[in-house]
Amino acid sequence: MQISQDRLDQLLQQIRPCTRNGRLASYIPELNKADPDTLGICIIDMDGNMVSSGDYETRFTIQSISKVITLIYALESYGDRLFTRIGVEQTADSFNSIIKLETRNDGKPLNPLINAGAIATTSFIVESEGREGIKNLSALLKALAKNPELKINEIVLNSEKRTGDTNRALAYFQHGQKIFDASVEDVLDAYFTMCSYEVQVKDLANIARIIANNGTDPETGEILFSSKTAKMTKTIMTTCGMYDSSGEFALSVGIPSKSGVGGGILSVVPGKYGIGTLGPALDEKGNSAAGVPLLQRLSEDYDLSIFS
């Protein structure tokens, strides 16, 4: 069934009050300046039909959603070797928790979509490619978003670098445990840079649409990554993409997704849609307080769960 503009506008109006159930991220001070009432969505189908509603033009930093790009790049470049350094299991802890690094999995982070795991994934790339690594990751982000104009928000980047001691702790701990050899500051530089790219929901929808089409751009036929990488990415997004509410999200929404503390969510409806949503007010797990119920209603109304 086609998702109509009218229906989407209606849905957005109904869900908008949920923005009041969340709070802006404040641990990166610059993120606390967003408008908490913002709610926007963009959906693109495989034929390129696009519907957008609400504050779809608002720009925001991609944050943890960049972990999907880093994962795709690492899987394409290093394949299963990645899993010598990182696991693929869910955590029941917050996205920047350190506790399991010491108590589980031989010091290896549990999965690539939490901070510790994304830092380890980035370390793989930086170790092999040095400064070129950031360039290559940025190029992949722009290619998947079909937007060569994407820019880093330097103010957010500096804000995060200044206050990123928890991420520093995660990186130094792993370096100390010999999970990686690369310079901690180089790895964090690449990690923070990728988190600070500014996007709109349309960019997220474009990226999601290519994942939904198993790595091939449906417009041009260009293969951006393999279907094996797409399958692994969708799987890890389903099990780990919404941090410690990934299980609940799988039950209520059932769409492989990845959230970020900027309020964005990238959602992949395999073979059908790429979806980007924005709602910077976050729930207690760090997921968009209005974005999640918006996706739940969409999933219910259009039967989008991959499990149905």
Cβ at position 180, least distance to ligand GLN in Å: 17
Amino acid at 294: L
> Which residue numbers are catalytic?
64, 67, 191, 243, 261
Q: Rule CB under 6 A: is residue 63 a binding residue for ligand GLN?
A: yes
- In the block, which residue shows the tokens 């206050």? 163
**Alpha carbon separation from 246 to 114, 163, 276, 293, 302 (Å, rounded):** 12, 27, 17, 14, 21
- The secondary structure of 228-293, three-state, reads HHHHHHHHHHHHHCCHHHHHHHHHHCCCCEEECCCCEEEEEECCCEEEEEECCCECCCCCECCHHH
Which CB, 19 or 64, lies closer to ligand GLN? 64
Name the burial class of residue 307, with classes exposed (0-12), middle (13-18) and buried (19+) by CB atoms within 10 angstroms of its CB.
Answer: exposed
Which CB, 192 or 224, lies closer to ligand GLN? 192
Q: Which of 19, 70, 96, 174: binder of ligand GLN (CB under 6 A)?
A: 96
Coil vs helix vs strand at 215: coil
Q: Rule CB under 6 A: is residue 195 a binding residue for ligand GLN?
A: yes
Q: Per-residue string for binding with ligand GLN, 97-136, x by CB under 6 A?
A: ------------------x---------------------
- The footprint of ligand GLN on this chain (CB under 6 A) covers a number of residues equal to 11
Which CB, 44 or 156, lies closer to ligand GLN? 156
Which CB, 264 or 274, lies closer to ligand GLN? 264
- In the block, which residue shows the tokens 């299991």? 89
Q: Rule CB under 6 A: is residue 296 a binding residue for ligand GLN?
A: no
Residues 6+ apart with CB under 8 A from 281: 19, 20, 21, 22, 23, 24, 36, 37, 263, 288, 289, 290
Which CB, 284 or 303, lies closer to ligand GLN? 284
Q: Footprint of ligand GLN on residues 267-286 (CB under 6 A)?
A: 286
Q: Footprint of ligand GLN on residues 159-178 (CB under 6 A)?
A: 160, 167
Cβ at position 64, least distance to ligand GLN in Å: 3
Selection from 229, 238, 249, 227 nearest residue 89 by Cα: 238
Alpha-carbon span 39 to 280, nearest angstrom:
8
Q: Which of 40, 260, 263, 279: binder of ligand GLN (CB under 6 A)?
A: 260
Q: Footprint of ligand GLN on residues 14-53 (CB under 6 A)?
A: none
For binding to ligand GLN (CB under 6 A), which residues are involved?
A: 63-64, 95-96, 115, 160, 167, 195, 260-261, 286
